[in-house]
Amino acid sequence: MMKKVLFMFFALSNLTMASVDHVSYKATFGIFGTVGTIKNKIIKKSRTYKIESRVEFAGLAKLLMGDQKEHYVSQGRMENGLMISDTYTMTSTKKDKKTMKEYHINHNSKIVTKRVRKWIQGKLVKDKKEKLTFYAKDDLLTLYFNLGTAVKAKGKKYHFKAVGLEKQQGKVQITVPSKAQQAPYVKDLGAGALLYAKALIHQKNFKKKKGDILLSLAKDKYIEKSVIKDVVLYGDAKIERLR
């Protein structure tokens, strides 16, 4: 009986200590204007967390993407104030097609497994499993929402790895400018940020082989605005937080 009471007390205390944040963004893209919204729900408990993100396209982008919807879920543990991913799921639906990518991170063996499944009209047409060639504690969501805690010192470069970025072996370089280097960031992102940063990525749709994502963090340590530079033909893409 005592064991059951203690278990119930722990479960209740863990629940009451949970913090829930809703952070939403509007995405704009050059001549297309508003192209979609990103709605995020972040639940943090004393030992665990869950992030849920839903992406919906709007306007011309919705038409071009065939009313595609995307759903991302990251779940794992809390360690020293940081979210450490155990599982990461990416689901995309478009008309009668559905694609799901699932990642499972084994931190003891340092092995990440990936499973990709595709359905057409409800019928499973692909089911592939593989081991990634790299290990990472982060996925794309934890990398994004850990930034305000993981990155602090100015005038410094940080190196991370995240599952979901297989084409670049998970590698992400974050540069935090010194106060003297902030002028270009303020120009693109606005003044008054808690912190400015630049993420270096590798994608085919940039004019250069490497593209930059400029980021500004608000006082609550969530990203306030981001600008993706040098997108081919269309200029810059922007994501701004909705208040």
3-state helix, strand, coil split of the chain in percent (to 5) is: 20, 55, 25
Residue 63 lies in a domain: yes
**Residue 63 phi, psi (nearest 5):** -65, -45
What's the pTM value of the predicted model, to 2 decimals? Answer: 0.86
Q: Which domain holds residue 22?
A: 18-242
Residue 12 lies in a domain: no
- Per mean pLDDT, which range of 120-124, 142-146, 206-210, 235-239 is the poorest? 206-210
Closest CA to 149 of 78, 51, 44, 221: 221
Q: What dihedral do alpha carbons 104, 107, 110, 114 form, nearest 10°? A: 0
Q: Is a pLDDT exceeding 50 seen at residue 7?
A: no
Output the six-digit token pair for 63.
């038409």
* Residue 48 burial (CB count, 10 A): 16
Q: What dihedral do alpha carbons 86, 92, 97, 98 form, nearest 10°? A: 10
Domain total of the chain: 1
Residue 13 lies in a domain: no
What whole-number percentage of the chain has pLDDT above 70?
86
Residue 117 lies in a domain: yes
Residue 219 lies in a domain: yes
pLDDT band at residue 232, thresholds of 50, 70 and 90?
A: low
Of the chain, the end-to-end C-alpha distance in Å amounts to 48
User: Beta 235-242 vs 19-29: how paired, if at all?
Assistant: antiparallel
